[in-house]
């Protein structure tokens, strides 16, 4: 029981949330870099619905961080590939 004496569940949850947020941001950057280097055909590596959601989440993230060149790039890829308007998914509260 001594190991749990200073255990703070709020701090543990906070650390988990920070780790999830960091992983999400890194994933957005990696996805954007992959699109830049490999082009939109890299989206063929996953199912269509998952690729579309990934682009929407990336657009939401880059809109929140005001990286509008990245937003424009993602929007163009989405609309060219899927022939529809993209609506960003905002999940910045992770």
Mean pLDDT, the chain, integer: 91
Measured CA to CA, the distance from residue 40 to residue 35 in angstroms comes to: 6
Residue-level pLDDT at 44 = 94
User: What percent of the chain lies above the pLDDT cut of 70?
Assistant: 91
Residue-level pLDDT at 93 = 58
Q: How many CB atoms lie within 10 A of CB 61?
A: 25
Per residue in 40-78, pLDDT (tens digit) is 999 999 999 999 999 999 999 999 999 999 999 999 999
pTM, 2 dp: 0.83
Per residue in 22-42, pLDDT (tens digit) is 999 999 999 999 999 999 999
């Amino acid at each position: 029981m001594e190991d749990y004496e200073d255990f703070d569940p709020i701090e543990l949850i906070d650390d988990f949330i920070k780790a999830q947020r960091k992983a999400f941001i890194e994933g957005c950057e990696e996805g954007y870099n992959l699109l830049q280097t490999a082009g939109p055909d890299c989206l063929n590596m996953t199912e269509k619905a998952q690729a579309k959601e990934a682009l929407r989440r990336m657009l939401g993230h880059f809109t929140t961080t005001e990286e509008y060149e990245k937003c424009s790039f993602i929007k163009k890829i989405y609309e060219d590939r899927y022939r529809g308007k993209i609506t960003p998914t905002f999940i910045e509260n992770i």
